[in-house]
Amino acid sequence: MSDATNSENAVLPPADEMVEKVRTALREVYDPELGMSVIELGLIRKIAVQKEQVDLTMILTTPFCPYGPAMVEQVKQKAQETSQFVTKVTMGLEVWEPSMMEDQAAANWGLYY
């Protein structure tokens, strides 16, 4: 019970709550060429929160995406701003494919799975 009343712990939300908060905030980061968020496109592959740090794994739609560096920086800044935690973005090795998109996003884009 002492952990629950500790003022340091009282201001830190549970990790799963922070993950959802960050995921929601990242819906505001758009791929400028496709006009869809990094979440809708399925570019954010993992969000983990541990001891005041957010670790994100992200991929791009193409390895040579001209907006890639800017999107990575926007993702980092948005996650850091939202969580108030140090944020690290790691580039994943997966190759993006349309099936990674959220269902509604794929339908809006004219893709059906």
Tokens of 35: 């006009």
> How far apart (Å, rounded) are the C-alpha atoms in residues 101 and 38?
9
Q: Is residue 56 part of a domain?
A: yes
Is-contact 50 22, C-beta < 8 A? no
Q: Is residue 57 part of a domain?
A: yes
92: number of Cβ within 10 Å: 16
Q: Is residue 108 part of a domain?
A: no
Are β-strands 53-58 and 86-91 bridged in parallel, bridged antiparallel, or unpaired? parallel
> How far apart (Å, rounded) are the C-alpha atoms in residues 106 and 76?
25
pTM of the model: 0.81
pLDDT in tens, 29-58: 999 988 999 999 999 999 999 988 999 999
More confident position, 75 or 6: 75
Q: Assess whether pLDDT exceeds 50 at residue 2.
A: no
List the domain range (segments joined by +) for residue 17: 13-92
Q: Is residue 52 part of a domain?
A: yes
- Domain tally, the chain: 1
Q: Is residue 102 part of a domain?
A: no
Give the domain CATH number at 36. 3.30.300.130
Q: CA torsion 49→74→61→48, rounded to 10°?
A: 0
Q: Is residue 97 part of a domain?
A: no
